């Protein structure tokens, strides 16, 4: 199996970092011309300066005693005590320097021979001298002097984001609410920008849970599980949910189910996981299933009532798992989040994803490497693979929801990630499991590209503006090439060159994530053009591409408009954002020549999508009304 995964892993990693290694292990590349001040000229001058410093240092170097050969020797600082106290340069004139002679001070020089210092002390002294020099130079600068443009750290380039970045509210840069606040809408929707308040009116008309209703005794399945019924629900879960995140040991789960059916539901992590899998299996839908006229009709069906009973039974046990810190506990918290995302409650889901991610912070694999002994032990390899996959799954799930809700990270990684890909649980996966792992690794590779695009977008924006938009052109072209390389590296079983109408849910999700990357690449150009009238051949080209991607986003997501899964709410948000961008372009009146054909049909399709979900999802109801209002205004002016 390791050889069969190689065609996916190797090309994908190479395509993300063209002509270089993964940034976690590679030496820092030089920043591209558009990102580093002074382009190649600056790089050359820095190199010459460093060479000059080394040559000058060597010319003054005296023989070093044993143990200090790694450090260049420095002559003593001959500045007098008065000049050193003033932190000014001393001309060393004898018997008295010029300043002391001028003010009548006693000029005292106390030389210190640094060659007798040990290497560590020398390193500290050199660092202190460098800091003093920076302070002196800073004090000489006029207060009115403009601050220089920050020089981009060349160690990251277009690679992984810096792990210590603090983005704060900038995580909302690409949300629906960001677009609603654009100048083109003239503040009309400022009162509706608080997404969390919009979502507080959810669960309208949802039936009461059987566990808290008088009919709870009519659901004996919860208290006394039947093996046949559980196996049916588990099979539904594995075919429709597990394929998107193949993080479970299926053999172990089958044993958990068998034990729960024979001995009853306990109060341990295994029983909690069985209840959650049954809940998800009860409401899981096939991608091309037929759907009701509205989502709320499905929520009132017996399968959802049963799923809610399973979930609430699991909730009675979830608190007990806080004492543990293993993979099984993390899986339980993660699947609580998956269930809540599936029933369109993202805020609650995010809290469970955070808890699952917090548990994974205690895993071994981020801090250690596999030893040869562990590689030879099948159980150790399986445990390692479970930790890796759980870590990655929690990371990407928590980040996706947090970004859309504009929430803080609470110490979890914002946009950084482990340098390695998770390992498959074994070398001999069957065909369906192998395909699921191909998808899983492909999605992670695309997530890494998306994070680089977002990092680049965040660092170039200033209060919603992109003042250095022309500096982003070269990097955008590089991201386009990386996205094309990723698509070309996919194995035939997941190729996106096939007709879209033949897509299953895995290809459908991959296409959606790829569209995320493209829309984020072009977002700054659209924002600058529509809000600030920035035009020009290059800006126009990327704005046009962005508007075309907005139409493509809605068109390619249309087959999944009514499919319920744990990413459905995120799909509603991205399609709504695309529709708003198209309406903003039409209302701006300055880019009529850039608006693509089919924009009107795309907006109407997005409105129909939101109408299907609006009785269940409060923010979908509000955003549908905004789209309908704007669309009616556009139609009235044509």
The model's pTM: 0.71
Q: What is the pLDDT of residues 15-42, one digit of tens each?
A: 333 333 333 333 333 333 333 333 333 3
Which domains does the chain carry? Answer: 77-111 (4.10.240.10), 176-187+429-638 (no CATH)
Q: Does residue 448 or residue 11 have the better pLDDT?
A: 448
Least confident of 6-10, 264-268, 349-353, 545-549: 6-10
pLDDT of residue 206: 56
Q: Does residue 607 or residue 112 have the better pLDDT?
A: 607
pLDDT of residue 597: 94
Q: What is the mean pLDDT of residues 464-483?
A: 90
Average pLDDT value over all residues in the chain: 76
DSSP sequence for 545-598 = HHHHHHHHHHHHHGGGTT--STTHHHHHHHHHHHHHHHHHHHHHSS-TTTPPTT
Residues β-bridged to residue 358: none
Least confident of 147-161, 195-209, 228-242: 147-161
pLDDT of residue 35: 36
Local structure of residue 504 (DSSP, 8 states): -
Q: Does residue 364 or residue 236 have the better pLDDT?
A: 236
Within 10 angstroms of residue 137's Cβ, the number of other Cβ atoms is 9
pLDDT of residue 491: 87
User: Helix 537-557 vs helix 505-532: angle between axes, to the nearest 10 degrees?
Assistant: 140
Within 10 angstroms of residue 122's Cβ, the number of other Cβ atoms is 19
Q: What angle do CA 559, 560, 565 make, to 5 degrees?
A: 160
pLDDT of residue 344: 94
Least confident of 17-21, 384-388, 450-454: 17-21
Distance (Å, rounded) from C-alpha 173 to C-alpha 578? 14
C-alpha dihedral sign at 91, 94, 98, 104: positive
pLDDT of residue 172: 58
Q: What is the mean pLDDT of residues 397-416?
A: 71
Least confident of 301-315, 426-440, 512-526, 553-567: 426-440
Distance (Å, rounded) from C-alpha 561 to C-alpha 558? 5
* Spatial CA neighbour of 322 closest among 303, 308, 301, 336: 336
Q: What is the mean pLDDT of residues 321-350?
A: 94
pLDDT of residue 86: 65
Distance (Å, rounded) from C-alpha 505 to C-alpha 243? 9
* Spatial CA neighbour of 504 closest among 436, 554, 437: 436
Q: What is the mean pLDDT of residues 599-625?
A: 95
DSSP sequence for 444-499 = HHHHHHHHHHHHHHHHT-BTTB-TTGGGGHHHHHHHHHHHHHHHHHS-GGG-TTS-
Q: Does residue 23 or residue 281 have the better pLDDT?
A: 281
- N-terminal to C-terminal alpha carbon distance within the chain: 59
Q: Which two tokens stand for residue 603?
A: 């907006």
Residue 105: pLDDT over 60:
yes
46: number of CA atoms within 13 Å, CB side?
9
Distance (Å, rounded) from C-alpha 592 to C-alpha 585? 7
Q: What is the mean pLDDT of residues 233-256?
A: 92
Residue 111: pLDDT over 60:
no
C-alpha of 391 from chain center: 14
The fraction of the chain above a pLDDT of 70, given in percent, is 68
User: Helix 346-360 vs helix 327-342: angle between axes, to the nearest 10 degrees?
Assistant: 170
Q: What is the pLDDT of residues 53-82, one digit of tens each?
A: 334 444 444 444 444 444 344 444 467 877
Give yes or no for a contact between 72 and 58, defined as CB atoms under 8 angstroms apart: yes
pLDDT of residue 64: 42
Distance (Å, rounded) from C-alpha 323 to C-alpha 621? 40
* Spatial CA neighbour of 173 closest among 526, 460, 458: 458
pLDDT of residue 289: 73
Q: What is the pLDDT of residues 557-589, one digit of tens each?
A: 999 999 999 999 999 999 999 999 999 999 998
Distance (Å, rounded) from C-alpha 149 to C-alpha 288? 52
Q: Does residue 161 or residue 423 have the better pLDDT?
A: 423
Least confident of 286-290, 334-338, 617-621: 286-290
Residue 205: pLDDT over 80:
no
User: Helix 431-459 vs helix 2-16: angle between axes, to the nearest 10 degrees?
Assistant: 10
């Amino acid at each position: 199996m390791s050889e069969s995964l190689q065609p996916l892993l190797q090309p994908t990693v190479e395509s993300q970092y063209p002509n270089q290694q993964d940034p976690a292990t590679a030496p820092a590349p030089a920043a591209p011309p558009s990102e580093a001040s002074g382009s190649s000229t600056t790089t050359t001058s820095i190199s010459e300066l460093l060479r000059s410093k080394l040559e000058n240092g060597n010319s003054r170097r005296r023989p070093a005693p044993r143990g200090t050969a790694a450090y260049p020797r420095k002559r003593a600082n001959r500045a007098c005590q008065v000049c050193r106290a003033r932190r000014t340069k001393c001309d060393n004139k004898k018997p008295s320097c010029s300043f002391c002679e001028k003010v009548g001070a006693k000029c005292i020089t106390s030389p210190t021979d640094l060659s007798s210092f040990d290497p560590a002390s020398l390193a500290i002294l050199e660092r202190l001298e460098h800091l003093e020099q920076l302070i002196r130079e800073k004090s000489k600068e006029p207060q009115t002097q403009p601050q220089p443009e920050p020089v981009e750290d060349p160690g990251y380039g277009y690679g992984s984001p810096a792990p210590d970045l603090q983005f704060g509210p900038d995580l909302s840069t690409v949300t629906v609410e960001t677009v609603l606040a654009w100048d083109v809408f003239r503040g009309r929707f400022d009162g509706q920008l608080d997404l969390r308040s919009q979502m507080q009116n959810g669960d309208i008309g949802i039936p009461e849970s059987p566990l808290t209703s008088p009919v709870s005794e009519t659901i004996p399945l919860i208290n006394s599980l039947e093996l046949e019924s559980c196996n049916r629900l588990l099979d539904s879960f594995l075919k429709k949910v597990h394929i998107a995140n193949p993080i479970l040991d299926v053999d172990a789960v089958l044993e958990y189910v068998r034990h729960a059916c024979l001995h009853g539901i306990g109060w341990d992590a295994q029983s909690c996981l069985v209840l959650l899998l049954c809940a998800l299996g009860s409401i899981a839908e096939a991608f091309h299933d037929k759907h009701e006229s509205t989502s709320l009709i499905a929520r009132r069906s017996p399968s959802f009532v049963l799923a809610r009973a399973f979930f609430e039974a699991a909730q009675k046990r979830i608190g007990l798992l806080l004492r543990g810190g293993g993979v099984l506990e993390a899986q339980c918290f993660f699947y609580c989040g998956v269930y809540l995302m599936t029933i369109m409650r993202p805020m609650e889901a995010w809290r469970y994803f955070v808890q699952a991610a917090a548990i994974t912070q205690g895993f071994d694999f981020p801090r250690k490497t596999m030893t040869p002994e562990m590689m030879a032990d099948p159980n150790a390899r399986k445990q390692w693979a479970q930790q890796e996959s759980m870590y990655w799954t929690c990371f990407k799930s928590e980040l996706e929801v947090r970004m859309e809700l504009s929430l803080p990270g609470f110490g979890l990684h914002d946009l950084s990630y482990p340098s390695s890909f998770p390992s498959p649980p074994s070398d001999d996966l069957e065909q369906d499991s192998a395909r699921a792992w191909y998808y899983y690794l492909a999605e992670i590779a695309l997530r890494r590209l998306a994070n680089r695009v977002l990092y680049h977008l965040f660092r170039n924006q200033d209060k919603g503006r992109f003042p250095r938009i022309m500096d982003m052109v070269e990097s955008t072209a590089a991201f386009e090439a990386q996205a094309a390389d990723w698509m070309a590296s996919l194995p035939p079983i997941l190729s996106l060159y096939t007709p879209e109408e033949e897509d299953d849910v895995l290809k459908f999700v991959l296409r959606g994530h790829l569209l995320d990357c493209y829309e984020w690449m072009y977002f700054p150009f659209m924002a600058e053009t529509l809000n600030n009238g920035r035009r020009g051949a290059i800006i126009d080209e990327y704005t046009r591409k962005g508007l075309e991607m907005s139409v493509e986003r809605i068109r390619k997501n249309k087959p999944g408009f009514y499919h319920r899964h744990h990413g459905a709410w995120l799909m509603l948000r991205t399609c709504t954002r695309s529709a708003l961008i198209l309406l903003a372009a039409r209302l701006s009146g300055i880019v009529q020549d850039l608006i693509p054909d089919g924009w009107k049909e795309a907006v109407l399709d997005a409105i129909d999508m939101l109408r299907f979900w609006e009785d269940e999802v409060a923010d979908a109801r509000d955003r549908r009304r905004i789209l309908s209002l704007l669309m009616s205004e556009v139609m009235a002016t044509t």
